[in-house]
Structure 1
């Protein structure tokens, strides 16, 4: 499974289509620097990547990594038609058997009010409605060669729609129960961040034991409910420090920290600076 941390979103580079006769072979390549999405409409491509076999029959797709070697293991046994599409991302990505915890470093970004999220897609799979994917591929390729900025913008919009549809078609859009519980718990914590953390209230609302909720959050976000809540409170405190003239003691209360000393300790631990210094950094002198 590929996991892309967004934003930034993966972006489209170029694409095309090919038809191989019986005996035809896909070219062998290594470290091409872009992801290669292949969607086969008829026939079958027999390939491998880093020694692992990847057969792509009709109505299936595969995504080849930008940093590995892939080659043909066997010539086509029948006429084979496929679409191909190159894309890349300048954001973080990973490849694993399952979704990885969303743990982002904010070093160098003391104030980054961006809502990051993971976008996951299996490396290969069968399409449930291949005609819908093929239609979007053809629509995207029709813009090829048009030099206008409007066409380039439209290409990226179509690519994002294709990517989302591909996720739906592959069945990976259906979130796991653990992921759903973790996201529901995160929503509960964001709604109640001004209040003292109540594991009992959270468990009653989500209808799961607090220990199981903590396991789900650890697997999804890489942190405990308390850690998640503390980080969210600090982000709210950063916003108030920058955009209001409220006293720091009042901000500590409004963001759920309660006492001023506890707020200063938590803020300094997570940001490397004290609240007053953080405020001065982003305010006009």
Structure 2
């Protein structure tokens, strides 16, 4: 499985299509510097990447890595048609069997304008709705003939739709129980952050022991449920401090902190200043 830390999102470079006759072979290459997505519509490709073999039949796909060596394992037995698509990312990416949490920022950001998240893709898989994916690829090919900034924008949109479709097809990472529990827990905390949430209530909602939920969130997000909801409450409080003139005591109550002194302590600890000082940074003098 591939894990991409976003933003930035992976970006589309170029795509094409090819047909190999019986006996045809995919070219051997090494360190091409881009991800190579192969989607077979007819026939079969037989490939090898650093000693790992892949058989890619019709309506299946394979992603070859940018920093590895790719060889043909054997020639095509039948006439084989496939689309190929090159993409890359300027962000962090990993090949892993165990998704890594997005590390919490070491610095104390005043106003967190960017929310980082992980995007997952399996290296190889079956297309449940191949005609939808092939239609997207055909549209990408048509747009390549239009050298304009608008067509380039549309290409990136189509590419992200295609990646989302692949992710929905492979079902990852939600087929991993601990990630599913962590996502469900995070969604519940974001929905009910204004309320006083106990571990008992979280356990009853998800039907898992609170210790297991905490372990799942630590694995997926690198923090406990309490740390997660505190961080989320602080971000909501920052928005209210910047965009409203509400009293700070009211903001503390509306974001689920309950106690005004507790809100002040949390804000000081995690942001490095008082709520009032934070608000004044964004007010005209």
**Structure 2 match to 1:64:** 64
**Are the equivalent residues in 1 in contact too, given 2:257–2:263 (CA < 8 A)?**
yes
Aligned 1:196-211 pairs, distance under 5 A: 196-211=196-211
Q: CA offset at residue 223 of structure 1?
A: 1.2
Structure 1 residue 259: Cα displacement: 4.3
State the partner residue of 2:122: 122
Distance 2:257 2:180 in 1: 27
Is structure 2 residue 43 aligned with structure 1 residue 34?
no
User: Offset of 1:61 from its aligned partner?
Assistant: 0.8
Equivalent pair of 2:10/2:87 in contact (CA under 8 Å) = yes
In structure 2, do the counterparts of structure 1 residues 236 and 130 end up closer, same or farther at CA, with 3 Å as the change threshold?
closer
Cross-structure match for 2:46: 46
1:211 CA drift (Å):
1.7
Equivalents in 2 of 1:170, 1:183: separation in Å?
17
For residues 61 and 28 of structure 2, what CA distance do their matches in structure 1 show?
18
Q: 1:45 to 1:231 in 2, by over 3 A?
A: same
d(CA) in 2 for partners of 1:106 and 1:160?
Answer: 30
2:222 aligned residue: 222
- Match of residue 131 from structure 1: 131
Q: Does the CA-based 8 Å contact 2:39-2:59 persist in structure 1?
A: yes
- 1:118-146 alpha-carbon deviations (Å, 9 max, x no partner): 32210112223333322322222122221
Aligned residue-pair number: 285
Residue 156 (structure 2) aligns with = 156
Return the alpha-carbon distance in structure 1 between the equivalents of residues 51 and 104 of structure 2: 31
Query: 2:55, 2:110 → 1: CA distance?
Result: 46
- State the match for 1:192 in structure 2: 192
Moved more, 232-241 or 265-274: 265-274
Q: 1:35, CA displacement in angstroms?
A: 1.3
CA pair 128-162 structure 1, distance change in 2 beyond 3 A: same
User: Could you tell me the TM-score, scaled by structure 2's length?
Assistant: 0.85
Q: Which residue of 2 aligns with 1:178?
A: 178
For the residues of structure 2 that align with 1:171 and 1:254, how far apart are their CA atoms?
36
Partners of 2:63 and 2:208 lie apart in 1 by 37
Q: Give the match for residue 269 of structure 2.
A: 269
1:85 correspondence with 2:92: no
> What is the aligned partner in structure 2 of residue 233 from structure 1?
233
Structure 1's unaligned 5+ residue stretches are: none
Tell which deviates more after alignment, 151-160 or 239-248. Answer: 239-248
2:128 & 2:203 partners in 1: Cα distance? Answer: 37
Between the aligned partners of 2:267 and 2:79, the Cα distance in structure 1 is 63
Q: How does 1:251-262 map onto structure 2 within 5 Å?
A: 251-262=251-262
Match of residue 4 from structure 1: 4
| Residues 1:203 and 1:131: Cα distance change in structure 2 (over 3 Å) | same
**Counterpart-to-counterpart distance in 1, 2:206 and 2:125:** 33
Instruction: For 2:187 and 2:128, locate their aligned partners in 1 and report how far apart those are by CA, in whole Å.
Output: 32
Q: CA RMSD in A?
A: 2.7
1:36 Cα offset (Å)? 0.9
The TM-score normalised by the length of structure 1 is 0.85
- Preserved contact between residue 48 and residue 70 of structure 2 (Cα < 8 Å): yes
Between the aligned partners of 2:196 and 2:135, the Cα distance in structure 1 is 52
Tell me the distance in 1 between the aligned counterparts of 2:134 and 2:210: 45
Secondary structure at the aligned position of 1:74 is classed as coil
Write the distance in 2 (CA, Å) between the matches of 1:250 and 1:131.
Answer: 53
Distance in 1 of aligned mates of 2:152 and 2:63: 23
